[in-house]
Structure 1
Amino acid sequence: MRSQRFWVLEGDEPLVERLAAGLGRSPARVLAYLLLRAEREDDPTTSVHLQVGTRLNRTTISDATTRLEETGLIGRDSLRDSEPGRPQTAWHPHADHETTIERTYDRHGVALVDRALEIHDHERTVRSADDSSLALALNWRPNALHAPFYAALASDWYETFGLDVRIEHHEGSRRALRQVGDGSADVAVAGAATVLRAREAGEPIVPVAPCYQRATTVLYTVRSVFGEPLRSVAQLEGRRIGMPPNSETKLLGRLFLSQTAFSDDVRVLDTDGEERTALVDGAADVVTGSFADPLELERRDMTVDALHVTDHFPIYGPTLVVHERTLAERAGTLERFLAATTGGWADARSDPGPAAERIAAVSDEDEARIERTFERAASAFGGSEAVRERGWGWQRREMWDRLRTALEQGRLLREPA
């Protein structure tokens, strides 16, 4: 019996990770195999090679190759031999590694805009002339959660896609959204709940890509103040909870409490942006904040416990938002921005160092700490089934519908937070 040898793709191949940011896991694995095998072997890559080499099943490979062909990243060949019957099919990549990666991100940028139009009930209009300048309004001072944007700058992804991106920082999601509303910025990063409330109020904005698939908000305390380990929602009954005013974290904190049976028995305190101080001084028993906030207290040798909002209710995290006018008139520029930011996400996941260096240069944060915080955020909040299937920034209508329903039931969709 004649044996045949097959080259097999290793599970931790870096090329898969880079491609997955713009494709999802399975298509990325198939495309990476085609690219790498083309360098190693002279014979065509058939479905048998793909099944053995990628360890994916036939249906998954069929779906992946169909998508890759539709996006123009691979081509199909019919192999004719001396055997009777239907010709065997093989596939080949259309370009080398770097060109394929760039094309992958380019196609993904277009797909993200199309997805936003579909989910939020807009239609693509005839594009006007696009330009290269773009202003990005971030929702807080430079920090680890912004690493993908700084990675895109460090790796010249924005330049690769012909963009001159200016990054501006603002104090909170509302202020970032205001920049988009008045035309001072083209794109903003804002919390998903704040975005929904703004849309409900009639603001002409459209979410185009969640930067993180899960909200990073937590309710946390220190053991010396709380008196016992915080393990369950029920322990919040009768407690004082500090929240910053007019913020996404307060909105999500109130949403979290609205899902409990004892929300009226909790006292919400305005901490005026000084949550950690209020907690350490004993003015509050628990406070809301970003997942990174408790880490500062841990570095001060305090025992910290936290409840993650999205462990109890799935909510998108910081999301990229544009004005309807931008979506209509500058779709091409927006697509290039999303393509380049996809590259930034992939590069930050691979090596957050260059992004951390840039963030540290404009903040008082330590580079190594920024790297660790981003890696933790990306791992805990960056992934989802949608990302595994379609790549970074993919959104689904049901997530927005579920959040809208929860905000309405909690009487938070329209009233001030």
Structure 2
Amino acid sequence: MIKTVSINLLIVLLTFQGFSQVQETNPPEYIKTITFKSRTSPQGQLPILRLGEAFYLEFDVLTTDEPDFYYVIEHYNYDWTESNLVKMEYMLGFDNFRIVDYENSFNAFQLYSHYRLPIPNRQTRGLKKTGNYLISIYNEDEELMFTRKFMIYKQEVAVGVEVKRKRDVRFIEEKQTVDIVINSGSLNLNNPMETIKTVIIQNNNLNTSIKDVKPQYIIGKELIYRYLNRTSFWGSNEFRFFESKDVRAASIGVQFIDLKEIYHGYLFTDIVRFDRPYTYNPDINGNFQITAIDRDNVDIEADYTNMHFSLLYPKLNDGSKIYIYGNYNNYALNEGNQLTYNSRSGNYQAIMKLKQGFYNYKYVIVDGKGNLDEGKISGDFWQTENNYKVLVYYRDLGARYDKLIGFGEATSVNISN
């Protein structure tokens, strides 16, 4: 009897694990600057790629021993549960091979190796299915170093995206709403209320995306989404930014620099903005761009600098924590980008080692219960320029996986009522 109960419990646990949503694993401190590059996806942005499009995964390893790394690619459903496809159904060739393309840094104080994984390559000749993918990087001891999500789509439907002010007057000054119209054209969608799934992403941040929004109306070939609350986001504020393309001189946002074991850049002390009027300040919506002056190949010639952040904010005694937030580390919240309170200066401070470039960032608060508040320090304004991406998934009756059949994009530059 005990043995039967144990077996049943094991089956339940395995079933639960099989349907759990996969979360991205962040790298150890010595792995930095993870980026996807392709013809249509600029460096540092969320990789949403066309079916058949070549791309590269690149990252730096801040050691001198040139370690070996291996990659594994897996297919997932729209909600990041594992799909029912076996590898040979979605992949041409094989994975789990060593990454052989890497170069050592040149003329930099911080020694590092730059790794580059092209897809397709000689072993992995291509990916055949649309949908969600997870690429996992392992070291030679089969220890997981990090994972990254990417999406592959085929434009089979037209996706119209428009950004509106919040229709609920209680939040009309702080929120933005995303309206969507999907036109299926010649594609016959069976029971779209159940078979169509949409995901709305603000500023390339999957952590705050809105999932599984169903159409409100179906008129002919059009699926219409015009919700009051379901598709609304906090407007937040324009990202702060700095530039470190010249390590020998202070640049945008940098107060002064100092050379120790490597270069150190000290940013101007930031202040809260939630209680100040909105001011338009062009940004790149949380992304980053590696750049360095007088360098031919920034992949291996751009240096790493210790950037010193400082925020004037009263000490939090309720268990809340403040983090530096942005796409530079995939919007992660961990010890590496957490600020600590300095009682002598009265500021929150942090030091992060970042490759030379142009960076967007903001300060966010996570309370003692783990709730993220992006606007508590920066404020929320309906005028803020944000980028929105909409992914449309379809699983036909009897199908075994979620196809990614449409992609649409808009910004709130021309936001309307």
Same fold (TM over 0.5): no
TM-score, normalised to structure 2, is 0.22
With CA pairs under 8 Å and 6+ residues apart, which has the higher RCO, 1 or 2?
A: 1
Give TM-score scaled by structure 1 length: 0.22
